[in-house]
Amino acid sequence: FQEMAKSIDDYLRAQMPVWRERYPGVEKMKVAVMGCIVNGPGESKHADIGISLPGNGEAPSAPVFIDGEKALTLRGPAIAQEFQVLVENYIEKRYGAATTQHSTAPA
């Protein structure tokens, strides 16, 4: 799980400057990347989007929580990459609407 957590963390840090430019308010977003199947779901519920990664020796299964609700469970070797796509989609949906509204407002 540590490699997956690092991959997700590195991705979020690299993308945040780009997202700040494109999506006003995105810096307030809370992302939880937890490595404990016991405490992870509870912690993830308090984030805007969160994932509870499998521990060592556990099956590659990771519940994802969006706005406090369990949305889906990712499975398999590409959990980190799939979560990154979910984060991108979440940001576009939640913060992209404000950008679109501003750009289409009558002058």
Q: What is the pLDDT of residues 46-102, one digit of tens each?
A: 899 999 988 777 788 899 999 999 999 999 999 999 999 999 999 999 999 655 444
Give the CATH H-level superfamily of domain 2-96: Sulfite Reductase Hemoprotein, domain 1 (3.30.413.10)
pLDDT (0 to 100) of residue 105: 43
pLDDT (0 to 100) of residue 99: 52
pLDDT, one tens digit per residue, over 55-65 is 777 788 899 99
Could you list the beta-strand ranges (E) of the chain: 31-34, 49-52, 61-66, 69-75
Task: Look up the pTM and report it.
Answer: 0.84
Domain boundaries, given as residue ranges, for the chain? 2-96
Rounded to an integer, the average pLDDT of 5-12 is 93
